[in-house]
Chains A and B, each alone.
Chain A
Amino acid sequence: MTVVGNVNPSDVKSGDRKLDDPYPNKCYLPFILYPPGMHRVDDGQAWLADHIDLQQTGGDFTLYIGIPFCRTRCKSCPYFARLLSENDSKGREEAYVDALIKDIRRWGATNKFATGLLRNVYIGGGTGSILKTRNLKRIVDTVFDTFKVSDDYEFTLEGNARDYDAEKIDYVVASQINRISLGVQSFQPELLGIIGSPHAATDSARIIREFQARGFRNIQLDLMYNMPGHTLDIWRRDLETLAALNVPHFTIYLYRIHKETIQNKLILKGKVEAPKDPEGPMVKAMYREAVEIAEQMGYSMYMVDHFCKPGYENMYNHWNWKVYIDTLAVGPGSYSYFDGYRFGTETDVEKYVELAAEDKPLISTVTDKLSPRVQRERYVVFALLYYEIEYAFYENKFGTSFREDFAEELERLQRKGLVELLDDRMRLTKLGLIWHTNVILEFFNPAFWNDTGSLEQPNWSLNGVMVEVGAHSREHWLGDQNVTFFPAPGSTPPQLTDAGDHV
């Protein structure tokens, strides 16, 4: 039996819902990029010069490289991506990679990044694997030519099985890329079309086996559950295929419908079946069975909905979220974090290419300098994906006490039974794991709620759905601070008790 912190994954039966819930509305986002709200700057180069000391000596950092292209946009994808045709008659891929390389070199020429140590590289998007092999090689070579890379680095190429041919597989296996991540979603053809995935059902397993046949083992895949038309039987078949493939890492994501997407339109117009209630018995069973099968196969759920065999944790998340080091992100729609600022690059690919040619950065969306308090909140928001906060690590990092900094929040969370405070750490309870995103929202700074202004900012990418969360009031997600439990949907409203904290 794999036990995660004090959470026994097989006990995570969110279907065993009590009459009362700790919050009025459940947030289903798998994680929150914090702080979500940012604002626009017109002159990114001037902003950079005024706010960031690039002459300082660098420390550990991670590098995110965004490839903003997809062959088709998945029907419920809320993120930024541009369609790139296979014939690419206008040479957009080539122009983009030229710009990306200039951008990487420009950052690498600063003292901060020339003297820093690159711990982890992640090519994502969009679709990282969409690039032609020669362009992929140009980027990988540039990274290693430009930065001092840690000996125990991890370099992930995220993407889609459709993009791999023998030449690309051979290159990746022989290159410094040492981990691939595939957006599989499902192995079943009846679902892939409905959600609009670019690959055919047989592509993922075939490509995974081709990598494995060449001795490349560090493969992670994403699966989704509760897609339109999804059944427990189909899900079981996916889990059986997963078991047969014996990859060392996988994630499961609840399929979500985002309101501005074509999938939402198709559902509203009766062309596609709506997903089932995520709190209903089928979806609970899907989650429970995935966890159980993962346990039986020797996986550990080392962070929320992330499963791995020993030694195969996602180290990009580890460095960014658990160790909490600087992130340099290049490419449109990517977000960096260092010197107490979070800042993003505009989603306009052509503008990015144009400015890169002039050796200028395209920084268009920034936060104010995060206060020490917000920087600590940011750490907690991320680290809680690993279920716990170690007091000593926190104090060593920030010079303050976690229990004192968040005394009010911890009192509420304890009262609701969502966390337990041990001698050396705070841990999520089983109930806390079920409500983990709401628990994370407890650590939001009050100033970031009701932020409808950020909804109007252009160029949101991954951040967009997070901004929508912050546009609500605190009460929407978390309810009255003095109320401990709220009636679960469909339950009989409980009677007022002596404690007076039930509604």
Chain B
Amino acid sequence: MSEIQRFRAASTVTVSAMAHDIWAVWVDVNAWSNWNDGVEHTEMRENFKAGTVFLLTPRGGKPVQTTITTATQGEEFSDETRFPFGVLQNRHRMTAIDDRVLLTHEVEAQIDRAAARTFATEVWPGLQNGVATTVANIADIVSDE
């Protein structure tokens, strides 16, 4: 039996927007609270690229160190936060289809089994619901319509 329990949620919207506009919103890490309701504050002083570490304060929580793990300009980025009870990863992707963009946010949590029950009831529902809100918020900001 694995020592880790995985939780996954994803949401996709199609938006009429320019990929470079979506990218511009993503890379302004200090303004993530504009579109991610689960984020209270973010502070990045370095370049937006793989390996950069920044401070993220979840709403109602304490600041944690988060790392940009991948960044492909105009396509995708992901970040990772390590907690004592596991790892939380966010993956953001965009795919151009004609003049529209398919925008996806996926969150995956790998949680120690010992903490999984508490995580599942107290943390995960908020994260899970937040995924759809996040892409909807970005779509609302960047949309041409």
Contacts and interface: CB of A to CB of B under 8 A. Distances in A.
A205 to B, nearest CB: 14
A480 to B, nearest CB: 38
A85 B45 contact: no
Given A194-B31, A200-B45, A271-B34, A73 B23 contact: yes
A265 B45 contact: no
A475 B18 CA distance: 34
Interface in B1-28: 18-21, 23-25, 27-28
Interface residues of B, number: 27
A85 B75 contact: yes
Given A200-B46, A262-B142, A85 B74 contact: yes
Interface residues of A, number: 31
B24 A75 contact: yes
B19 A83 contact: yes
A262 B21 contact: yes
A202 B27 CA distance: 17
Interface in A191-223: 193-194, 196, 198-203
A384 B50 CA distance: 46
A193 B29 contact: yes
- 10 tightest A-B CB contacts, nearest first: A83-B74, A262-B21, A85-B73, A73-B20, A83-B73, A193-B30, A85-B72, A271-B34, A196-B24, A193-B28
Interface of B: 18-21, 23-25, 27-31, 34, 44-49, 71-75, 140-142
B69 to A, nearest CB: 13
A84 B47 contact: no
B141 A84 contact: no
Contact of A71 (B19, B44, B73, B75): B73
A189 interface: yes
A174 interface: no
Contacts of B72: 85-87, 89
Contacts, number: 75
A216 B145 CA distance: 49
A6 B101 CA distance: 54
Please report whether the interface of chain A is mostly helix, strand, loop or mixed according to DSSP: loop
Contacts of B74: 83, 85
B59 to A, nearest CB: 17
Contacts of A201: 45
B45 A271 contact: no
A201 B30 CA distance: 13
A196 B73 contact: no
Contacts of B28: 75, 193-194, 196
Given A85-B72, A200-B45, A72 B140 contact: no
Nearest to B72: A85
A392 B141 CA distance: 55
Nearest to B18: A262
A266 interface: yes
Nearest to A89: B72
Given A199-B47, A262-B142, A271-B31, A86 B71 contact: yes
26 contacts: A71-B73, A72-B48, A73-B21, A83-B73, A83-B74, A85-B72, A86-B71, A86-B73, A89-B72, A190-B30, A193-B30, A193-B44, A194-B28, A198-B47, A199-B47, A200-B45, A200-B46, A201-B45, A262-B20, A262-B21, A265-B21, A266-B25, A266-B34, A269-B140, A271-B141, A272-B31
B73 A203 contact: no
Given A198-B47, A200-B45, A72 B23 contact: yes
A87 B71 CA distance: 9
